[in-house]
Structure formats: C-alpha cells, structure tokens
Amino acid sequence: MRSTRSWLPTGRAGARGEGAALGAATMVVFALVVVAAIGFFGGFAKVDVGAMGLSYGGGPFESNHFQGVKVPSDGRFFNGMADSLVELPTSTRNYLVAPQSDRGDRPGSDVITVQTSDQVNVDWGVNVNFRLNRDPATVQRFWETIGKNYGAGGCLTDDPGSCKGWDKMLDQKFRTQLEQALRDATAAFTFDQLNGNQANQRKVAQAVGAGLKDDIGRASGGEFFCGPLPEGCPDLQLSVISFTPHDAQVATAIANAKAAGQEKARQENLALAADAQARAISKVAKALQAAGPDYVLLQILQQHPDKLPQFWVLNPGQAVTVPAAPAGR
C-alpha cells in the first residue's frame, strides 16, 4: 500500500498564516472598539440657549420611551447611545402677516381679509408675539400630539431649511385661529370706525390677543402657546402692521361719500349760522325800535365821549350867562 502523508503548515509559512489571522482579529476588535467609542461619546448632547430638549430612548438594547426634559443649564449630558434629543424653541417668536413681499411668514404679499359690521372687506397686516409654553409636561404633550406630526423640532436658527416643519405647523394650527379671531373682532366695528382710527384698531388687536391663546388651545388640545412675558402663560400680543380696504374702488367710493357728507354738514352749519344771525339782527332791530331815539343817543355818547355836553352846578338864586356858540359850529 502507498502511504499517505497529511500536509500541515509548518515552519515559516505556518507562522505567517497564524500572524495574518491574528492581525485580522485585532482589526475587527479595534473596529468594534472604535464604533463603541463613537457611539458612546456620540451619546453626549447639550441643549441650545432658547430651547428645551426632550430626550427619547431608542438605542439597540432598549425600547422607545420618554426619558425626560433637558434645558440649557444642564450643560453637556449623556443622552444615551442612539437615543434622540428633540429640541423645541422656547424663546419669544413672532408670526408676521405683512403686505410687503417676502416679509411675512407666508411667501409673497400676505394679508388677512375680513368684513366690518357694514359688510366692507378690509385687509389686515398684523404681527403676533408668542412663545411655546415652558411647562415641561406641556412641552412633551405638544411634541407628542402636534409637533411630531409636522416634524416641528429644531428651528433654532434663521436657516429656513430647519423650520419647514415648524412653519407648516404654525400655518395650519396657528394661522387658522388667528384669522377667525380677527374676523370676530373686526365685525364689532364699521369701516368708518376703523379706517384711520388707530385707537379702534388697537382695540381689535387687544381683543384678538386676549382670545387667541384660548382659541388655539381648544383647537389643538392644550395651552401650548403663550404671550412673550416670562411668567406663567399670559395672553398673546398682537400689533397692527397695516389696515386697508380690500377693494380700491370701494375705498374711493367710501372716501367720496364721506367727503360729500362732510360738505353737506358744513353747508348745513353755515345755513344754521346765517339763520341765527338773521334772528339776532331782527331782535336788535325790534329793541332799537322800542328804545327810541334816546337809546341811539346813548350809544353815540358812549362811543364818542368827546361829544358829551358840559354841565355847570349853580347855587340857588345865582344867575348865569351862557355865551353864544362861535360862528361856524
């Protein structure tokens, strides 16, 4: 029988094979360590100023769950490996409706058109100052019921790309209630009471600001938006940017009618003044007629005291000679 020999790596070749295997294993271990380190150190986070952070667990070894609220004063903290941190703006924000192109929250020229009590369409430009409610439980409920659906997290800078979800949420949840509140408040005044009357325009703004917080709360399911003052959850603040008639022709007609009314009133006032003057002249004439010449003489003497006659006081029984007036007098 032919004998067989097994082929086993020996000597220098075998050593090279074992070294290569050991090197590969080392590289794998090193890669795992690096990945673990990146995951560990990447789990640290901090909350930006003017924001509130909501920490949610979602790592490979845990379930998705809410872990707590973080604020800027917490500094850098360990949020967790593969866990998420949702940052929401809690600083004062504004929602701007402006007729100037590309100035407001909606692109292009933007106004809110409503009707006055006398059925005149008017355009409002307004600015609403507000902030997110800073109560931790309320912020969590806002995110889980509304914000998450719109992807409204972030929006902490002026970068438009980071605010798309936030802007969409405001446009659908905030804007709708603002329009209704402005519609109700405007209907309490006529066009003439509002046009050019800043005091009444401020009354409309105050009425909208006072009710808007509650209106949004009822529609969205919570007191999520507050006024800009730091304590508690005050009313939202609204200021008027512009107020104009929606239809220029209607505005011209109203202005002309107002001018005609003012001219009519002026003519009526002139007629009343002339009538009063005529009655006064008639009364004077009657009084003069009743007083006779003596009244006329008295008026002349009061206005021309140099024409008063001279009087002499005579003792009883004393004679007096009155000289004749000079010729020509």
Q: Residue 104 is part of a domain; what is its CATH number? A: 3.30.479.30
Cα 29 to its chain centre, rounded Å, is: 60
pLDDT at 78: 78
Q: Quick one: how many helices (H) and strands (E) in the chain? A: 9, 10
Residue 15: inside a domain: no
260 and 145 fall within a common domain: no
How does DSSP assign 136-170, residue by residue? HHHHHHHIIIIIHHHT-----SS-GGGGHHHHHHI
Q: To the nearest whole number, what is the mean pLDDT of the chain?
A: 80
Q: What is the mean pLDDT of residues 42-68?
A: 79
Residue 268: inside a domain: yes
Question: What φ, ψ does residue 154 adopt, rounded to 5°?
Answer: 80, -135
The residues, any chain, with a CB within 8 Å of residue 10's CB and separated by 6 or more, are: none
Q: Which domain holds residue 114?
A: 91-246
pLDDT at 228: 93
- The residue with greater pLDDT, 313 or 161, is 161
pTM as predicted? 0.64
At 249, the pLDDT band (50, 70, 90 cuts) reads confident
Residue 32, pLDDT > 50, answer no
Domain count, the chain: 3
Give the best-scoring range by mean pLDDT among 220-229, 259-268, 304-313.
220-229
